A and B are shown apart, each in its own frame.
Chain A
Amino acid sequence: MTENILELNNLTKFFPAKAGGIFSRAKGEVRAVDGVNLTVGRGETVGLVGESGCGKTTVGRTVMKLYEPTSGQIVFDGQDITNLDRKEMKPIRSKMQMIFQDPFSSLNPRHTVGTIISSSFTIHDIEPEGGVEHAVRELLTLVGLNPEHINRFPHEFSGGQRQRIGIARSLALKPKLIVADEPVSALDVSIQAQVVNLLDDLQKEFGLSYLFVAHDLSIVQHISDRVVVMYLGKVMEMAPTRELFANPRHPYTKALLSAVPVADPKIGRSRERIILQGDLPSPVNPPSGCVFNTRCWKAQDICRSVVPETIQISPLQTVACHFPEV
């Protein structure tokens, strides 16, 4: 048994840039994911953070093989799944599941909760012990829903409850890895905490591994063992959560952390803040050299011409920058 449940080696996913619309001037490719290396250990939670459009969702969907990778390698549970086709993926799909951001559109409104959750079994031709209905009721109980509600429809539930239904569905086949794409972003603060706690409990109970995609850094910090920071399709920095938050080495990580508003006025008033200039560049025409150079206050000539290598800056921390913070 390999140590890691998931390994991405130099993973790349480009989309053809559409003519017209916002990309009208620049034809070519959207470099959504551009050479990403990362691992998720067994039982580990890896947080994937970065601003809108940096490629987080694309990484998640490519891992699930919902997108075909452009190049690179995906190793799941010791097996190279990069080039497996739909049919070959089927037995593997049951071992990796995805939870989505939007608890409203990710559940079929015409199906009952029972049908939605049991579809996991029917798709994979699995007859759970004690029968499907029994299994569904158990799953509902597990995620904190009333098993009596098995025949209700998604619209009869609140956002947080719908997210629980999505989680129950993803757990049906006892997966090893769950890719959670912004699973609590659409929920209210008090409900977010309920779902985060549920994910914590389930991990403890079943030894699940999570690739947890989110833009909310305080939740990522809470739930992750390690954090990967992306910018314009590339990994900028990777470190154990504590190191990353205590001592960010990449200028972008530093700026990102300092931009997060802290729910503590005294700290908010006293802390130093880096306000980045400008917006994210387009992934169709990423800047040459270091992709962050157009917004980085430390940029030198070399940053505009030479792509920084990813260096191991301490035993567990890697950073892609010519002039990392000390």
Chain B
Amino acid sequence: MSKFLEVTNLNVSFPTEDGEVRASNEVSYSVGLGETLAIVGESGSGKSVSNLAVMGLHNPVRTKITGSAVLNLADGPVDVISASADTVRRLRGKSMSMIFQDPMSALHPFFTIGDQIAEAWHLYNKGSKKDGIKKATEMLDLVGIPDAASRAHDYPHQFSGGMRQRAMIAMALVNNPSLLIADEPTTALDVTVQSQILQLLKDLQKEFNMAIILITHDLGVVAEVADRICVMYGGRIVEDGTVDDIFYRPEHPYTLGLLNSVPRITAGESHRLRAIPGQPPSLISLPSGCAFQPRCEYSTKVSSGACASTVPSLSDKGSGHLSRCHLDAADLNNLVKDKA
């Protein structure tokens, strides 16, 4: 069965003076209604760029995009990569919405919160100004703003950071989209507010059966909300599996390194952290083989120097989840033993 969003072989690059930034390379992922897919990776690994392409938010002149991203809508599939700008604009905010780390990027400082949510609603609904404000109040109430009817008249600066995040969620969901892409939605928030917002997203997902793509670098957040996880490194997806696959049976040395880097709040004795040496690659001059090779302690196990010369393919090595690594199945199974 096809999922609500199916991204296949997406390539996004930016020609710049220094060379071509290949931010997203042969990226494929999918997410179904009611499902949460987390995309994790370090900054600059291509998480946002890939999803901005799905939303049709790249500058068409300065961006090269190939591949497909199909939305399986009730009235048939639409590939948002090849569709006209007009078609994508009509889907945006209605069938798919996006929220960001910084709510002020979506909220205009000079208009009231209520007016802005109402405006988003009027784009796709007929109704009076009063209906719009009523809808806005309803949405603010839904996302847990106390005293929503009066707070709808506030300006963004009168809201706290957590409330602005709620307001942006209210605006993104006002037309009941089937897909919500949340790009680091809680990174700027305190943990007690973060847990409120994550809970809110979970509740709303249940209520509206939304597909959610959660972009984050925080493995704790991922562990708590995701159903499935794609790990990105150097503009490519290097592993794709269920939450338990990724956390308990990682099949890529980078995923393993990432898991080992995180101090465990539950761990007893504090041990030395197992840091990954070196730094992430530049997307202008990606290594010709596996992008992780310069940092990978396992590459010596692969014969004939394949790690440095050939990009491994993303494939199922028999475990039911996908990884992009030249190690053979036996070695991959052994990775789990190196988990801290």
Contact = CB atoms under 8 A, between A and B. Distances in A.
Interface string B179-212: 0000000000011111110110000000000000
Interface residues on A, range: 35 or more
Contacts of A146: none
11 contacts: A160-B279, A193-B274, A221-B265, A223-B270, A259-B191, A261-B220, A261-B221, A262-B266, A263-B220, A263-B264, A264-B266
A262 B223 contact: yes
Contacts of A22: 157
Nearest to B243: A265
Given A260-B220, A268-B224, A194 B192 contact: no
Contacts of B199: 275
Nearest to B44: A188
Nearest to A194: B275
Contacts of A257: 265
Contacts of B191: 51, 215, 217, 256, 259-261
A110 B247 CA distance: 44
Name the 8 nearest CB pairs between A and B, nearest first. Answer: A261-B220, A193-B275, A222-B263, A51-B190, A193-B273, A193-B261, A190-B276, A188-B42
A326 interface: no
Interface string B158-193: 001111000000000000000000000000001111
Given A262-B223, A262-B224, A279-B162, A218 B279 contact: no
Interface in A263-303: 263-265, 267-268, 273, 275-276, 278-280
A123 interface: no
Contacts, number: 129
Contacts of A190: 42, 257-258, 261, 275-276
Contacts of A194: 275-277
Contacts of A245: 265
Q: DSSP class of A's interface residues: helix, strand, loop or mixed?
A: helix
A263 B262 contact: yes
Contacts of B244: 265
Q: Is the interface of B mostly helix, strand, loop or mixed?
A: helix
A264 B264 contact: yes
A200 B277 CA distance: 16
A279 B146 CA distance: 11
A196 B262 CA distance: 11
A129 to B, nearest CB: 31
A277 B301 CA distance: 52
